Structure 1
Amino acid sequence: MSSLVLQSDFGLDDGAVSAMYGVAVGVDPALRIHDVTHNIPPYDIWEGSYRLAQVLTYWPEGTVFVSVVDPGVGTERLSIVARTSTGHYVVTPDNGTLTHLEAIFGIDEIREIDETRNRRPGSEESYTFHGRDIYAFTGARLASGATSFEAVGPSVDRAALVRLPANPPEREGDQVRGIIDTHDVRYGSLWTSIPRTLFRELGIAHGDRVTVRIHHHGSVVHAAQLTYAHSFAAVEVGESLLYVNSLDRMAIAINRGHYAHAFSLGSGSSWRVTLEAAR
């Protein structure tokens, strides 16, 4: 039996998440059920995509994730299960939720959920809570071994997968470019898509100064020179820094401050960032 890990934008103010737990336990009372988060901002598929990538490989191979950020519930969008190249499974609507997992880890195979076999009995006329009736139910069956990945439903061409728009990080001359993927929610750091390995190609050492420019819809909205540091303690309280975050990507922060709030900066594919050695 594998663990079942749930994520949604439902919050914890009502019984939606509890209902998903109940359906899963009804499939198998011995299931181990855990959470990524249920505080994804409402309808924010991009954020849901990123948070899956943040945690995926810290869970054992075979773990089943259920991610429900589904503003298109009741439409023709597909319900799918993906097997990642790391050997994990993700049950989700096909609406872009797999964007970061595919880009960072790879996806080997996708199957459409056959709802005639993988749907909570008695829910056939319910069209607004697929997180409970289809995704939690299918995820629990998969994690408990009541069904196999192959039995979930027919294979789907990976080329047809819905992807959110995102430019891959790149180097051009003495500069590396990426996007602000997300914020460190509580502390306001800007987590970029630029891998440490790409940044290292610039030859910048710890203690060196780095010029950061942030563009929004093509215009520079913020620029600064920061110290490239091992950690927050390497700079004074209130001082900004560039560092490598827990996902081995470059991040920007203020020691004991909130960078995103301080400079009114957002996240997503429209927020571009460039890094280069300060001159």
Structure 2
Amino acid sequence: MTQALVLMTDFGVRERFVASMKGVAYSLAPTTPIFDLTHEIAPFNIWEASRTLAHTIAYWPSGTVFVSVVDPGVGTDRTSVAALTKTGHIIVTPENGTLSQVDKKLGIKEIYVIDQGRHLRPGAEQFHTFHGRDLYVYVGALLASKQLKLKEVGRPYQKPIIQLQIPEAEILPDVGLQGAITGIEHPYGNIISNIPYDWLDALELSPNNHPLVHVKIQHQEIPVFNEALMLVPSFGFVTEQKPLIYGDSEGCLGLALNQGDFAKVYNIEFGEKWILQIHKIID
């Protein structure tokens, strides 16, 4: 039985790139269902690719093959791998940090180095800038259609996987809850953090009571947002264009503007230097 093949890139959809990848996959495995996760990862943004994979994979059946191509090092000697998660999903990707958040959330069981000499698309030996078409989706389609076994991809990968530097969420006595801003949800501009939603219990806070909480955002240790926001179950509990704090669909705390774009209005981005702090306002 063939498995689903799911594609994620930073290619966008204006150019020929995604269609070329799908053509290769369809030619190899015409009965394999092909899906798009997204092709709108910010160019070269490995952090966003890793987070997006980590928060999507678990909703797909075990055995699904994901091809992730956010590859600033294309054509160099960077390593290409096929990884098996502890949930039974396969990821075909450059080993450049893309696997880091997947490993943290789901766990990586096995990794194999793709033998490019054996598995490069026939006729692609002269091309060095489109491994999404010529290597990753080629291997991914063979894996999804069972024409290639995972262990036949290449030798086992023996090194620790490359880890992105993501500050851990913490509960601090003098601060409250602290974590990193790990992403922006497009097109709405909602702020994603790595602070678990259930940590609100440590502050004795419940969104059902709509309390005000103090929210502070720092970039490179400089405050860029410092306001009291209402903690609510969802967006419509505040008036339009008003900021709020809520629990997102992945179980973490997020910030939003009701029917607005929080990231754009407040000029917020994401990454290891963007820190979110939340503490209870004492009456």
TM-score interval (norm. to shorter): over 0.9
State the match for 1:258 in structure 2. Answer: 261
**The residue matched to 1:262 in structure 2 has which SS?**
helix
Q: Deviations over 1:24-75 (max 9, x none)?
A: 1111111100001111121111111121122111111110000101110111
Which TM-score applies when normalising by structure 2? 0.95
| Alpha-carbon distance in 1 for matches of 2:148, 2:199 | 41
**Is residue 109–residue 158 contact of structure 1 (8 Å, CA) maintained in 2?**
no
| Alpha-carbon distance in 2 for matches of 1:274, 1:120 | 48
**Is residue 189–residue 258 contact of structure 1 (8 Å, CA) maintained in 2?**
yes
Q: Percent of pairs identical after alignment?
A: 38
**Residue 157 of structure 1, CA deviation:** 2.5
Q: For residue 154 of structure 1, what is the amino acid of its counterpart?
A: R
1:56 is aligned to 2:60: no
| Alpha-carbon distance in 2 for matches of 1:146, 1:117 | 14
State the match for 1:82 in structure 2. Answer: 83
1:214 is aligned to 2:204: no
Which TM-score applies when normalising by structure 1? 0.96
Moved more, 96-105 or 13-22: 96-105
**Residue 221 of structure 1, CA deviation:** 1.4
State the match for 2:33 in structure 1. Answer: 32
State the match for 1:226 in structure 2. Answer: 229
The number of residue pairs the alignment matches comes to 278
Which 4+ residue blocks in structure 1 deviate beyond 2 angstroms? 197-202
**Is residue 200–residue 206 contact of structure 2 (8 Å, CA) maintained in 1?**
no
Q: For residue 101 of structure 2, what is the amino acid of its counterpart?
A: H
**Residue 184 of structure 1, CA deviation:** 1.2
**The residue matched to 1:199 in structure 2 has which SS?**
helix
State the match for 1:247 in structure 2. Answer: 250
State the match for 1:162 in structure 2. Answer: 162
Where in structure 1 are there 5+ consecutive unaligned residues? none
| Alpha-carbon distance in 2 for matches of 1:146, 1:24 | 12
Matches within 5 A, 1:139-154: 139-154=140-155
| Alpha-carbon distance in 1 for matches of 2:168, 2:114 | 30
Where in structure 2 are there 5+ consecutive unaligned residues? none
**Residue 158 of structure 1, CA deviation:** 5.0
Q: Deviations over 1:196-228 (max 9, x none)?
A: 133332221121211111110111111111111
